[in-house]
Amino acid sequence: MIEIKNLKKSFGDNLVWENVNLTIEDGTTLAIVGKSGCGKSVLLKHLNALLYPDEGEVLIKGRNVFQLSYVDLRIVRQKFGVLFQGAALFDSISAFENIAFPLRYFTSKTEKEIRSRVMDCLEMVNLSNIGNKGTSELSGGMRKRVGLARAIVLEPEYLLYDEPTSGLDPETSDEINDLIIHMTKNLSITSVVISHDMHSVLRVAEHVVFLDEQKLSWQGSIDELRVADHKRLKEFTKASEYQI
Amino acid sequence: MQLFLEIGKYSRLLYEAIRSATEFKTYRKNLFSEMVKTGTDSLGIVSVAGFFTGAVLTIQTSYQFTSALIPKSTIGAITSQSMIIELAAVISGLVLSGRVGARIATELGNMRVSEQIDALESMGFNSVTFLVIPRVVAGILTFPIIYIAAAISGITGGVLAGIMTGSVTVHEFMEGARMFFFPWDVAFGIIKSFVFGFVITSISCYQGYFASGGAEGVGHATTRATVLSCIYVLLSSFLLAAILL
Ligand SMILES: Nc1ncnc2c1ncn2[C@@H]1O[C@H](COP(=O)(O)OP(=O)(O)OP(=O)(O)O)[C@@H](O)[C@H]1O
Ligand SMILES: [Mg+2]
């Protein structure tokens, strides 16, 4: 379980959000929605303490990540797989090596075992034959999927997805959505998904939070979302439905 | 005030680097590739710069000392000693501030703004161990070699310029060079190049590591890295001379 308590973050004089309270149950998928620039990525980066808040805490299994020693924090971080908004692939090594990277440093697998695990992950994101390409040869959507393969390679307990389907065609988007659902259901991973795409949100998530006006403006289940009586949230979901 | 904050942040980065320096396994591979990069980046250009500095020094010295009372070997002595004590180290320091400093700041700056440093941290790596230590250690270890290359090519340039202009023979040049050769001067030059290696790489790592604001931010970080490296190379050269000579 991840509990977010009274979180507040600002950069200099620029308040991003405050009073954020949120609980994410194990084995569920939460979607974070909101306008561009409302602080979704910033919120995601607090879950594994890539950013530190002005106030508040994030409890993972009851322990506040912001108070962990760096050694303990690194152990907690290894339980997270993160897909960054721009994929954040290491551009000095090939796509294959990007995915093999955590395996090489954090496991004692043999070369053969590494190969087969990387291949499995590439297959899951539907990219079986791109292995030795350099990262600069990949399209935006391919980079996303390599980033996703890298995020799941160490079999994390928590997966954080920053816009996993943006820039993908509808078919690949659906495959990624299926993958997210598969990870949550079959491997009982806890997921947090940032998305602009309400179609994806409705498919993958059980709970939704809406970040707006520098606070957590609305939260509830998918069923509640369909009937929510919240003006700005309605405007937001309506706007994204017209995109389809 | 801003300056103190910066110094604090810089010191914390170095402290973090030193504290985690024992995790050799993490950065071993990077250390070797960084040393190769730093070496190949620099040896060519530094040799050329050293060569011409030595050549110019010889020509100027022989131009200034026209008196027959001063033996020709003085030209060799002045050229080689100036190269060894000061010029080989400072010239390679300045050239590398541009070459190595810019490369490091750009590399790390790009990794910062494209979230690659966040990605390293999120996997459980200590990004400082992984990125900063190999670059700084590679700088400290390779700069003395580069200094020696610069000194040798400087003296070679001096000898050749002497022959070409007919102002001093190889024999006279080397006689002077030998007479005023003190091992301590070489030691001083090597100490200086250790310090320059550290100054340039640590400043550039700092600028790149904390870059922000997209591609433009990386550009700013790179400019700051090269300018500050040059200034601190000159400043530390002055301080070392004041303390050690
Ligand atoms: N490192 C930083 N330094 C200063 N300000 C930042 C930093 N990172 C984010 N911000 C600011 O915080 C706010 C929220 O940014 P964030 O990236 O979380 O938006 P977002 O909701 O993810 O938007 P998008 O949907 O476009 O990705 C923005 O105003 C941004 O300018
Ligand atoms: Mg974002």
DSSP characters over A68-90: S-HHHHHHHHTTEEEE-TT----
Residue range B109-115: mean pLDDT, rounded = 96
Cα B172–B176–B182 angle (5° rounding)?
155
pLDDT at A131: 65
pLDDT of residue B17: 86
Confidence of residue A37 (pLDDT cuts 50, 70, 90): very high
In a domain, A173, yes or no: no
Q: Are residues A1 and A74 in the same domain?
A: yes
Q: Please indicate, yes or no, if residue A147 is contained in any of the structural domains.
A: yes
Taking alpha carbons only, the member of B192, B20, B119, B104 closest to residue A135 is B119
Q: Does A172 fall in a domain?
A: no
Mean pLDDT calculated for residue range B62-79: 84
List beta partners, residue A209: A32, A219
pLDDT the model gives residue A49:
96
| Residue B25, pLDDT score | 80
Q: Do both A20 and A75 map to the same domain?
A: yes
Residue B91 CB burial class (10 angstroms; 0-12, 13-18, ≥19): buried
pLDDT, average across residues B72-82: 91
In the predicted structure, residue A243 carries a pLDDT above the cut 60: no
In this structure, what token pair is assigned to residue A124? 């899951």
- pLDDT per residue as tens digits for the range B191-233: 999 999 999 999 999 999 999 999 999 999 999 999 999 999 9
The structure tokens listed for A149 are 């393969």
Q: Is the pLDDT of residue A241 over 80?
A: no
Tell me the DSSP string of A53-73.
-SEEEEEETTEEGGGS-HHHH
Mean pLDDT across B56-82: 87
- Asked if A75 and A101 sit in the same domain, the reply is no
How many domains, chain A?
2
Q: How many angstroms away from the CA of A227 is the closest CA of chain B?
A: 37
Of B110, B121, B124, the CB nearest to A106: B124
pLDDT digits (tens, 9 = 90+) for B120-150: 999 999 999 999 999 999 999 999 999 999 9
8 Å CB contact of B115 and A88: yes
Choosing from A155, A189, A211, the residue where a domain stops is A155
Whether B67 has a pLDDT exceeding 80, the answer reads no
Q: What is the pLDDT of residue A244?
A: 40
Asked whether residue A30 falls in the same domain as residue A151, the answer is no
Interface touch B122/A101, C-beta < 8 Å: no
Residues A163, A66 share a domain: yes
The CA distance from A206 to A142, in Å, is 27
A121 domain residue, yes or no: yes
The number of angstroms, rounded, from the C-alpha of A68 to the middle of its chain's C-alpha atoms is 22
Residue A85 lies in a domain: no
**pLDDT category of residue B113 using cuts at 50, 70 and 90:** very high
What pLDDT sits at residue A228?
87
User: Is A190 part of a structural domain of the chain?
Assistant: yes
For residue A40, which ligand has an atom nearest its CA? 1
Chain A nearest C-alpha distance from B122 (Å): 6
Helices (H), B20-132: 24-64, 73-82, 88-113, 116-122, 127
Average pLDDT (B15-43) is 87
For ligand 1, atom 1, the nearest C-alpha belongs to B212
- Is A69 in the same domain as A128? no
A interface test, pick of B19, B115, B116, B131 with most A CB neighbours within 10 Å: B115
- Of the listed ranges A64-78, A121-135, B226-240, the least confidently predicted one is A121-135
B214 exposure class (CB count in 10 Å sphere: 0-12, 13-18, 19+): exposed
> Residue A127's pLDDT band (boundaries 50, 70, 90)?
confident
* Pair (A63, A95) in one structural domain: no
A11 lines ligand 1 (CB under 6 A): yes
Q: Determine, for residues A101 and B123 on separate chains, whether the beta-carbon distance falls below 8 Å.
A: yes
Angle between helical axes of B133-165 and B170-179 (0-180°, round to 10): 130
Residue A226's CATH number = 3.40.50.300
A150 part of a folded domain: yes
Q: For chain A, what is the mean pLDDT? A: 91
Name chain B contacts of A88, Cβ cutoff 8 Å: 114-116, 118-119
The domain containing residue A65 runs over which residues?
A: 1-79+158-167+178-244
Residue A124 has pLDDT above 90, yes or no: no
Same domain, A112 and A146: yes
Residues A72 and A116 both lie in one domain: no
Tell me: the pLDDT tens digits for A87-109? Answer: 999 999 999 999 999 999 999 99
Structure ipTM: 0.93
Residue A152 to residue A154: CA distance in whole angstroms: 6
CA of A216 to the centre of ligand 2 (A): 16
Closest C-alpha residue for ligand 1 atom 28: A37
Q: Are A4 and A65 in contact (CB under 8 A)?
A: no
Domain closes at, from A124, A155, A186: A155
Please name the member of A70, A89, A102 whose beta carbon is closest to the beta carbon of B123. Answer: A102
Task: Read off the pLDDT of residues B155-202 as tens digits, 9 standing for 90 and up.
Answer: 999 999 999 998 889 999 999 999 999 999 999 999 999 999 999 999
Token reading at B161: 């310029």
H/E element holding B195?
helix B183-209
pTM for the model? 0.91
* A71 and A100 belong to one structural domain: no
Nearest ligand atom owner, CA of A37: 1
Q: Are residues A75 and A99 in the same domain?
A: no
- A84 in a domain, yes or no? no
Q: Which residues of A touch B106 (CB under 8 A)?
A: none
The pLDDT value given to residue A133: 86
Last residue in a domain, options A123, A155, A187: A155
Cα–ligand 1 centroid distance for A39 (angstroms): 5
Mean pLDDT within A207-211: 95
Question: Which residues neighbour B72 within 8 Å (Cβ) at sequence distance 6 or greater?
Answer: B62, B167, B168, B169, B172, B173, B176
Partner-chain contact A77 B118, CB within 8 Å:
no
Q: What is the dihedral of CA B146, B147, B150, B153, to 10 degrees?
A: -100
Same-domain status, A23 and A40: yes
Token output for B138: 């590679």
Mean pLDDT, range A180-205, rounded to an integer: 89
